[in-house]
Structure 1
């Protein structure tokens, strides 16, 4: 997989002044205390995977706040709201690099972006995106997000760049509407059985899933009537949403925020076994977050039962240290097992 992420360097982005995470595996889990920046790492990787799309910054902001997308909303990408320091993202891939920089143009500026001011009270009227795929310091491609005279958000794209990555971001929302629409698309594309088989692995009582005009329904063994998805547990709904989203297209990379959201602790091992098998079968690289130690224990147990998983998963503890700033501590299976078995506080 040439589009596999191997390493990322994040500078002046959201809560990070500087962070490097390296040696990515097929499946990567970010853990740590609340508000340490786990989701920000997913967002960084996701924006790099679609770096030619100027609407990427407004997308990640929308998933966080559900607010109407505005150009000025990209201010929250800037570390400490300091607009004089451009956020920069750089990833090493299996083949080549990806890099992306954000340059703001303020409402009271001229068209010369060098005159941008750093006051957090200023309004951003335009965001310039410089991106590239070579080791050179210069970014060869450029795109723009701006507000037109009518107050509408518009974009300009670089027609000389052709994107070859296809990535998916699954937010922490357990939206039944998303699950229904994604599964309905699978039915149309004749890919339904892939997800049904995976769900049976998650819960053997599931006989089938049906997309009907009034929503998604489950056929459960021993139950005469189809049950609406709203009657199922949060875990099943979350799994349907994740699996049907992934199966709809041939993605290179999938990002899942709060992967265990809505799952009972007893379902974590089965969730991981299902996700890990699905990632192997579809040859996708997965990045996920959690702050749940039960989820981490479930992952360890899933890897213990299947040695193939042990080589394909890395866990990263994201922590802010007193002397070295933000750090990412990598755990392989053996290190994760030792940390959990000896009750070491992996979240520091």
Structure 2
């Protein structure tokens, strides 16, 4: 688990730290103050700078420059790496760094990201990559990723255009060349991330195998029953084809006590889908980290206590560390009502300075006295 986090020059943060991190951590603060950026920084440090994680973060934000056609007629997305850097500027020497202290070994791990001039070996790599969008003239630049590993400190140098853009096929070429450094998806599952848009049916079905036909399946149903006690069973649709055009909440059906035939889970509303996502993601996050952006989306304030009880019980049982964000004071109050010591609130007040830490006892006092901690 992470016990402390430091961010330097990443996105809006100049110098930020978060200390006294617990098993359950709720990150609060105003709009555009960097709550989601903290979750991204955790992804980057836990994945040790995996460039595929970089792609997920940037594309998830919609920071796509344009779409460029290649001769075969395939459309390739192109992302802008410059938005990761403080000031949105990419030039030689631009850099950001993320550090964390890990509880297990009580040691610090660091990952540094820096814009460098491509060296001769990188120039050769440039020549092997598709030429579309890569600059013909001018200095070649690359994103250098290094980590605090004495045996293998250099992870990769990623060729970029002079504007700091990266293509999907470029990334895939690099991954193929360095395949030993990038294990498959299951081996790399050191964190799970739930965005504000939740997960799609296809993504959730791919995680369902960790739950189906295990003791955890019953607990998923119990989580849904906290919202509607008529729910008896939940199941993934056997068809491998999911049609995104019919909406995000596809792929699961629910058996209701008062209905003869099962109904699509989307019929039960946003809250039921969100609770299903949280319950399955917790199981998938066994011995790992779960990151949840705007955790209370779709949930009525009366359901928040049940949500937190589920999360605390599952995180203790499955050894999951949770980082979540919220704007909702009811979400904070419901967390405060739990008799649990391994919780914290981390309030972000500035892009330059530490987060303000609230212990479990301080959260309870603030809730009972209606003290604003958001």
Q: TM-score, normalised by structure 2?
A: 0.76
Q: Is 1:32–2:57 an aligned residue pair?
A: no
Give 2:11's aligned residue: 14
Give 2:101's aligned residue: 92
Give 2:192's aligned residue: 168
Per-residue Cα deviation, 1:222-248 (whole angstroms, up to 9, x for no partner):
233212111012111011112212323
Give the counterpart of 2:169 among 152, 158, 161: 152
1:74 Cα deviation after fit: 1.5
Q: Is 1:81–2:81 an aligned residue pair?
A: no
Q: Is 2:96–2:112's contact at 8 Å kept on the other side of the alignment? A: yes
1:66 Cα deviation after fit: 7.4
Give the counterpart of 1:226 among 256, 262, 279: 262
Per-residue Cα deviation, 1:125-156 (whole angstroms, up to 9, x for no partner):
5321111247xxx9823223336999832225
Measured in 1, the distance between the counterparts of 2:52 and 2:295 equals 24
Q: Is 2:24–2:323's contact at 8 Å kept on the other side of the alignment? A: yes
Give 1:287's aligned residue: 323
Q: Is 1:326–2:353 an aligned residue pair?
A: yes
Gaps in structure 1 of 5+ consecutive residues: 114-121
Q: Is 1:102–2:113 an aligned residue pair?
A: yes
Give secondary structure in 1 for the equivalent of 2:209: helix
Q: Is 1:166–1:252's contact at 8 Å kept on the other side of the alignment? A: yes
Measured in 1, the distance between the counterparts of 2:95 and 2:152 equals 14
Give 1:118's aligned residue: none
Give 1:212's aligned residue: 237
Q: Is 1:316–2:340 an aligned residue pair?
A: no
Q: Is 1:251–1:284's contact at 8 Å kept on the other side of the alignment? A: yes
Call closer, same or farther: CA 1:48–1:133 in 2, change over 3 Å: same
Q: Is 1:339–2:366 an aligned residue pair?
A: yes
Measured in 1, the distance between the counterparts of 2:218 and 2:367 equals 36
Gaps in structure 2 of 5+ consecutive residues: 68-75, 122-137, 240-250
Q: Is 1:237–2:273 an aligned residue pair?
A: yes
Q: Is 1:128–1:143's contact at 8 Å kept on the other side of the alignment? A: yes
RMSD between aligned residues? 3.3
Give secondary structure in 2 for the equivalent of 1:340: helix
Q: Is 2:336–2:363's contact at 8 Å kept on the other side of the alignment? A: yes
Give 2:41's aligned residue: 44
Measured in 2, the distance between the counterparts of 1:60 and 1:340 equals 34
Measured in 1, the distance between the counterparts of 2:167 and 2:11 equals 29
Q: TM-score, normalised by structure 1?
A: 0.81
Call closer, same or farther: CA 1:39–1:151 in 2, change over 3 Å: closer
